[in-house]
Amino acid sequence: MKKVYIETYGCQMNVADTEVVFSILGREGYARTEEIGEADVIMANTCSVRDNAEQRIRGRIEQFNVYRKARPEVVVGILGCMAERLKDTLLESGKVDIVAGPDAYRSLPRLLAAASQGHPQIDVLLSREETYGDIAPVRVDKNGVSAFISIMRGCNNVCSYCVVPYTRGAERSRDPRTIVHEACACAQQGYREITLLGQNVDSYRFGEYDFARLLAMVAESVPALRIRFSTSNPQDISDAVLETMAAHGNICRHIHLPVQSGSDRMLEKMRRRYTREQYLDRVAKIRALMPDCAISTDVIAGFCSETEDDHRDTLTLFEEVGFDAAFMFQYSERPGTLAAKKYPDDVPPQVKTRRLEEIIALQNRLSLESNRRDVGKTFRVLVEGPSKRNPAELCGRNSQNKMCVWPDTVHRAGDFVDVKIKDCSQATLLGELA
């Protein structure tokens, strides 16, 4: 039996895709290995969203070639967004045997067979239909508690900075019956939490089903499971979705709502389809319906022509919303995007870095303030396993997606326990069994 090793980079969609790849290859007799040294096939499922993500993977390709030189029968494959973006230029390096884009994974057995005969292979065709809806993923996460379910692929928003529409193609939604089937399978396999994934889950549409209806159907078909979803675009998250969340106790009180910038001028240049005002309006609606709902975000510092005023608008927006968490990035120009074609990448690197650091410092304070508000509260927490620092402590997340740690030698991964919060750091809630 040939052994396959896959490293996964980038977003949760890639984690879900790697699980699809293991399933497709498993049916053809390939076994999964976590030991790169014993692998016959070494692959990386890659990300192109920022230049540093790609640089990291270039470094890994060099490492993979150490194994390929030691054992010439080893096949090296690049999957995912970087495969789609760079296409045959990856093969030209002579360091890669297979290049397969996100919609080409059903061809992998054929590509592998040909590549192992010494013929480099490429398939980067994007599809309008492929959802891998019929494929039961082979879960790669170790604790068996939380599973990803992809509900749609691709993206039809053309945010001017973003490479994803080019690497993942047009948006398509997966048949809701296959989604519910997969959720039920997760419940049967002992999973306690599922996360519904898409680049823009709120634009999910399959026949009569929109995202609110899908969410309700999933929540009702697996009442014992926690449901999360990501990512929500501010202009598309509807009142119906918020009402569905509010009406279902098993849908987690957390919304990841990327804002990208607090400046209307930047939002327009970014081709986001909302204003600062409309964003704040969504936040107000979320809090009116679910006062205990956490809100996290993504932000980009130093987008094309960003001024100190624009940057201050981002800082004041952060302050006004008081985000519970944020993923914060410096703008990285991506070849082929609208921004790369239309706008010079003119904010100097040291200015980008300084602005990013200011946002991070502010968010650190906001995260701490958010956690302080939770001291004294009791949360239901899903146990993930022992805490990193102390084997006599367990860790897990509450509904708001905050990491909690408490002394506990009784419970195990997958248990739901009530934890009373006594103290906190900026990153963690510290408690005791309630």
In the complex, what is the shortest distance from the CB of residue 11 to ligand F3S, in angstroms, rounded to a whole number?
Answer: 3
Given a contact cutoff of 8 angstroms between Cβ atoms, the answer to whether 84 and 46 are in contact is no
Judged by beta carbon distances under 5 to 8 A according to partner kind, the member of ligand SF4, ligand SAH, ligand F3S, none in contact with residue 13 is ligand F3S
Residues 233-292 that bind ligand SF4 (CB under 6 A): 233
By CB under 6 A, tell whether 164 contacts ligand SF4: yes
By CB under 6 A, tell whether 331 contacts ligand SAH: yes
Give Cα 234 to chain centroid, integer Å. 17
Among 22-30, 59-67, 110-118, 158-166, the segment contacting ligand SF4 (CB under 6 A): 158-166
Judged by beta carbon distances under 5 to 8 A according to partner kind, the member of ligand SAH, ligand F3S, ligand SF4, none in contact with residue 14 is ligand F3S
The residue within the footprint of ligand SF4, chosen from 100, 112, 162, 194 (CB under 6 A), is 162
CA distance 7 to 18: 9
CA distance 149 to 284: 29
The residue within the footprint of ligand SAH, chosen from 334, 352, 355, 402 (CB under 6 A), is 334
Judged by beta carbon distances under 5 to 8 A according to partner kind, the member of ligand F3S, ligand SAH, ligand SF4, none in contact with residue 165 is ligand SF4
**The token pair that represents 120 in the structure block:** 């480099």
Closest to ligand SF4 by CB, 137 vs 165, is 165
CA distance 59 to 388: 28
Instruction: Give me the phi and psi of 116, to 5 degrees please.
Output: -75, -10
CA distance 266 to 202: 23
Judged by beta carbon distances under 5 to 8 A according to partner kind, the member of ligand SAH, ligand F3S, ligand SF4, none in contact with residue 396 is none
The residue within the footprint of ligand SAH, chosen from 131, 150, 231, 398 (CB under 6 A), is 231
Closest to ligand SF4 by CB, 165 vs 396, is 165
Judged by beta carbon distances under 5 to 8 A according to partner kind, the member of ligand SF4, ligand F3S, ligand SAH, none in contact with residue 214 is none
- Please report, as ranges, the residues that interact with ligand F3S according to CB under 6 A: 10-11, 13-14, 47-49, 80-81, 163-164, 167-168
In the complex, what is the shortest distance from the CB of residue 162 to ligand SF4, in angstroms, rounded to a whole number?
Answer: 3
Residues that bind ligand SAH (CB under 6 A): 49-50, 161-162, 164, 199-200, 231, 233, 258, 260, 298, 300, 329, 331-332, 334
Residues that bind ligand SF4 (CB under 6 A): 155, 157-159, 162, 164-165, 199-200, 233
